[in-house]
Amino acid sequence: MTAKTIAVAFTGASGIQYGLRLVACLLDAGCRVWLVYSQAAQIVAKEEAGLVLPAQAPAAARRLRAFFSCDERLAVFDRNDWHAPLASGSNPPDAYVVCPCTMGTLAEIAGGLAKDLITRGADVALKEGRPLILVPRETPLSAIQLENMLKLARAGAVILPPSPGFYHRPQRIEDLIDFVVARILDRLGIDHRLLARWGTARG
């Protein structure tokens, strides 16, 4: 069975740990990962995770392959690389996840704007009928933001706010992160053992 190719974008919303954990789980599941990130995501990664994301894709690939202890299954693309495969419907990934997703990025996708590889990748996923999962981290939400989410949901995107449950009795911050990542993996159809399913474990 051919391994899935999942594109992941990090944007400048708080919550870079969700994206990092998602990439780690995808690689552990044997997926190929195409990663792209915004300049604001570089700032957030350093502030929230102490991780320096290089501006240049080759250096970023070396740094992140070492960080995730992986091989060439992880490819990193510059946000302005219009030759990247996810920029064209002729070679789209199996699915695309923007995690975390800023409200600005969400608005651009809702408006059909494709100013860089991040938003172009989302545009391609929608037009090609591939799964598009957006993980918006913001609160409270304005009417404009809610309208953009509704527009995207009607267009076929999955709006998956990072809202962890507590029925699995989390003991660590990592347990809360895993809850959200598990929901993303479920939507991607990727097996995992991040937490017990509802109804299968009772304390």
What span, in angstroms and rounded, lies between the C-alpha atoms of 38 and 40?
A: 5
Supply the pLDDT for residue 9.
98
- Answer whether residue 173 is part of any domain: yes
Count of residues making up the chain:
203
- Answer whether residue 199 is part of any domain: no
Residue 130 to residues 13, 17, 43, 54, Cα–Cα distance (Å): 24, 25, 30, 29
- Answer whether residue 134 is part of any domain: yes
- Answer whether residue 176 is part of any domain: yes
Backbone dihedral angles phi then psi of residue 194, each to the nearest 5 degrees: -70, -30
- Answer whether residue 201 is part of any domain: no
- Answer whether residue 198 is part of any domain: no
Supply the pLDDT for residue 198.
83
**64 contacts 77 by C-beta, under 8 angstroms:** no
Structural domain count, the chain? 1
Supply the pLDDT for residue 199.
80
Report the side by side order of strands in the sheet with 5-10: 74-77, 32-37, 5-10, 95-101, 132-136, 158-159
CA 7 to chain centroid, in Å, comes to 8
Structure tokens at 38: 């915004």
What CATH code is carried by the domain that includes residue 82? 3.40.50.1950
Supply the pLDDT for residue 202.
54
- Answer whether residue 172 is part of any domain: yes
- Answer whether residue 41 is part of any domain: yes
Domain extent at residue 30: 5-188
Supply the pLDDT for residue 1.
63
Residue ranges, the chain, pLDDT below 70: 1, 201-203
Backbone dihedral angles phi then psi of residue 46, each to the nearest 5 degrees: -70, -40
Supply the pLDDT for residue 200.
76
